[in-house]
Amino acid sequence: MRNLSKVFKLPLFLLVLGTPFLPLKGEVRRSSHSVEQCLFKPSAEEAPLFEKLFSDPDLFESADQMRQAGFKVNRRVHEELMVATHPELPKYIFKKYTNKIPQDEQLAKYIHRINGALTIKRTLKKHKFQHLVVPRKGLYPLPPQYGQNTYLVVAEYFDICSGDDQGTGENGQRYYNISPAVLRELVILMHTLGGCDAWPRNQPFTRDGKIVFVDTEHVGQKPRHFARHIIPRLNPQMQQYANNLLRKLN
């Protein structure tokens, strides 16, 4: 049997993967859910732990305050948003702005992020992608001592690779050595969504080889971020593949 890649003078993975459908750029409609539709309800077993861990009204004064309460807070606190985990609830990751940010502004941002996650989830399901995931996210209402309309974002925890955006880190190396199958889905999703805040730290690899969209705030925005901040971190062959596929999709 003749070598197809030699006949067509193309890398074999381009012929194997192909592009059976060409979704339109920004074709998805962003989800729009109310507070009630976004609520997270812990299980009967977990509810007492949630009540215990989130009982101190001063908990969200600062990242240091959370650390003193036993939370592991991401060292990168960006725009007053704290991202934390707790050993007693290992299945979840928690996101909360410090008390400096007005609660109504916080809630609007949380709902925006949750709607972004739902938009991605719907798109992944529609295209039956196998290598990309997005965490389930919901609003946990904090008790009265925090004040009215005070919420916390509870998200599904994923075991992600370390290194954030560092090319020499575990996550950076996964991107550099990305497989054609994973990259194909990533390019098509980014194109279909119309962009997002694309950085390796915002769409890190999980240790089982998938890419998880942990930052869902800017879905449908920042369409050039993927080409600027992700593609240059790939190996030369995969850079060529990604750029060729983007040109075809455009």
In three-state secondary structure terms, 23 is coil
pLDDT of residue 4: 33
pLDDT of residue 198: 97
> Of 140, 156, 172, which residue sits at a domain end?
156
What is the Cβ-side half-sphere exposure of residue 67, based on CA atoms within 13 angstroms?
Answer: 8
Same domain? For 57 and 105 the reply is yes
pLDDT of residue 188: 97
Which residue matches tokens 């904090």?
A: 142
Higher pLDDT among residues 119 and 76, named by residue: 119
Containing structural domain, residue 51: 35-156
The answer, yes or no, to whether residue 105 has pLDDT greater than 70, is yes
Q: What's at 115, amino acid-wise?
A: N
Same domain? For 39 and 77 the reply is yes
User: Cβ–Cβ contacts within 10 Å for residue 18, how many?
Assistant: 9
Same domain? For 140 and 97 the reply is yes
The answer, yes or no, to whether residue 169 has pLDDT greater than 70, is yes
pLDDT of residue 29: 65
Distance CA 42, CA 226 (A): 35
CB 73 within 8 A of CB 86: no
Q: At what angle do helices 180-193 and 103-127 cross, to 10 degrees?
A: 130
Q: In terms of residues, how long is the chain? A: 250
**Virtual torsion, Cα 76, 183, 206, 132, nearest 10 deg:** 100
Tokens of 190: 């980014």
Helices (H), the chain: 4-8, 12-17, 35-38, 47-53, 63-68, 103-127, 170-176, 180-193, 225-229, 236-249
| CA 35 vs CA 57, 136, 139, 152, 217: distances in Å | 21, 15, 8, 12, 16
Task: Report which of 175, 179, 169, 168 is spatially closest to residue 198, judged by C-alpha positions.
Answer: 175
What's the total number of domains in the chain?
Answer: 2
Same domain? For 185 and 225 the reply is yes
> Of 156, 178, 212, which residue sits at a domain end?
156
pLDDT of residue 249: 94
Give the predicted TM-score (pTM) of the model: 0.86
What is the Cβ-side half-sphere exposure of residue 79, based on CA atoms within 13 angstroms?
Answer: 4
137 inside domain: yes
Average pLDDT on 189-195 reads 96
Which residue matches tokens 């609830």?
A: 89
Same domain? For 46 and 87 the reply is yes
Higher pLDDT among residues 137 and 4, named by residue: 137
Which residue matches tokens 């410090």?
A: 98
- Range 165-180 burial, b when 16+ CB lie within 10 A, else e: beeebebbbbbeebeb
Average per-residue pLDDT for the chain: 90
Same domain? For 56 and 116 the reply is yes
Higher pLDDT among residues 29 and 205, named by residue: 205
- Residue-wise pLDDT tens digits, 233-248: 999 999 999 999 999 9
> Of 100, 129, 156, which residue sits at a domain end?
156
pLDDT of residue 79: 86
pLDDT of residue 26: 55
Same domain? For 149 and 236 the reply is no
The answer, yes or no, to whether residue 226 has pLDDT greater than 50, is yes
Which residue matches tokens 């999980």?
A: 206
pLDDT of residue 76: 84
Please name the residues in contact with 63: beta carbons below 8 A apart, sequence gap of 6 or more: 73, 77, 82, 84, 98
- Residue-wise pLDDT tens digits, 1-57: 444 333 334 443 443 344 444 454 555 666 778 889 899 999 999 999 999 999 999
Higher pLDDT among residues 30 and 209, named by residue: 209
Q: What's at 22, amino acid-wise?
A: L
